[in-house]
Amino acid sequence: MCCPLSRGVFHRVMASPKNVFASVRTRTDPCIIQSDMLNACETKPPTDSVHGMAPLENHPGQGWRARLHLEYAAVDGHTRLVKREHDGPLMVQKALYPEGPSVCHSLILHPPSGIVGGDRLAITAVVNADAHALITMPGATRWYRSLGEPAVQTIDIRVGRGGVFEWLPPETIIFDQAHAQLTNRVLLEAGARYTGWEIICLGRTASGEQFKTGRLRQRTEIRLDGKALWDERANVIGGSPLMHSPAGLAAAPVTATLLAAGIPISAEVVARCREIAVGGNARAGVSTMESLLVARYLGASSEEARNYFVALWRILRPLLAGRAAVTPRIWTT
């Protein structure tokens, strides 16, 4: 997700006039996290290791440092979690196969249950050629208020030729006074496919809290065979005028984006996606560009945003993954 506003700071490599939230700016925020792109997707032979990461140091008052590295490989038609390395409070349980051996489901756990100022989380997922992995979490990610130091999460995804990766997390709740920096980078080799979404709730709306102070900085980048498909940045200031402006979030606390990349999406599939409606005063839209479909939600309910995206996923998955959607079991427990 990258919100359709950012106090005049919002940059996108490409935008479609069909997108109901299309908005292009000509400058970028020099303060947003900048990271070098990773090299081309790894397709090395599978290895079986769960150790080897250099230990991280945590110091009082500086927050948690946590890293997680996952690697999947296709072995005799089965997708195996062949490498799992973690350091700090970030880990996965055993590989799950609710769809059979071809698709590996993984559940990321963050035992502290929330992210505070000074925390640094880094997740890397490598899906080698012809493998298929799906990652989700057991519950919402909460970003707590900060005394000033930002909390940072970086997610790097690399998918090899013929591989499929699905990033389907629950909502992310940004508390009032939080300072959050989120970066998602997706590198796809030719023939690789990716579906992912981000659902952001600004403030704890269930308790009436609004996002009056704090900041959310976010960048989402997708490259296919070395070519930029999507590069979007947001800089959301709590309580800023654009949070209430019709040109920004229009006072909606929930903003969400789904991205499906890797192959062209037909006009017929797009039409089916656009038939899915959202209720109340929520707004939703679907647009396409080269090898990329973008869906937006802007409203008051993270549950409605998730249901909307799941409905889209059920339409898109047979096209991108060659199989019907199978709901991760954790979503119903």
According to the model, what pLDDT value does residue 125 have?
Answer: 98
In angstroms, the CA 243 to CA 269 distance is: 32
Please give the pLDDT value at position 62. Answer: 66
Does 4 fall in a domain? Answer: no
Each residue's pLDDT, cut to its tens digit, for the chain (333 residues) gives: 444 333 223 333 333 333 323 322 222 332 222 222 222 333 333 333 333 444 344 444 567 899 999 999 999 999 999 999 999 989 998 899 999 999 999 999 987 778 999 999 999 999 999 999 999 999 999 999 988 889 999 999 999 999 999 999 999 999 999 999 999 999 999 999 999 999 999 999 888 888 899 999 999 999 999 999 999 999 999 989 988 899 889 999 999 999 999 999 999 999 999 999 998 889 999 999 989 999 999 999 999 999 999 999 999 999 999 999 999 989 887
pTM of the prediction? 0.82
User: What total of structural domains would you count in the chain?
Assistant: 1
Query: Would strands 132-136 and 164-167 be described as parallel, antiparallel, or unpaired?
Result: parallel
Looking at the DSSP bridge assignments, the partners of residue 198 are 257
Q: Is residue 193 part of a domain?
A: yes
Is 36 domain-assigned? no
Q: Is residue 32 part of a domain?
A: no
In terms of Cα–Cα distance, which of 211, 213, 284 is closest to 251? 211
**57 found inside a domain:** no
The answer to whether residue 234 sits within a structural domain is: yes
Eight-state DSSP code of residue 150: P
Q: How far apart are CA 205 and CA 319, in angstroms?
A: 36
d(CA 171, CA 306): 8
**Boundaries of domain holding 217:** 10-24+63-332
What's the start-to-end Cα distance of the chain, in Å?
Answer: 25
Q: What is the distance between the alpha carbons of residues 21 and 36, in angstroms, rounded to a whole number?
A: 28
3-state secondary structure 37-94: CCCCCCCCCCCCECCCCCCCCCCCCCCCEEEEEEEEEEECCEEEEEEEEEECCCEECC
Domain assignment of residue 118, yes or no: yes
> Looking at the domain assignment, is residue 90 inside a domain?
yes
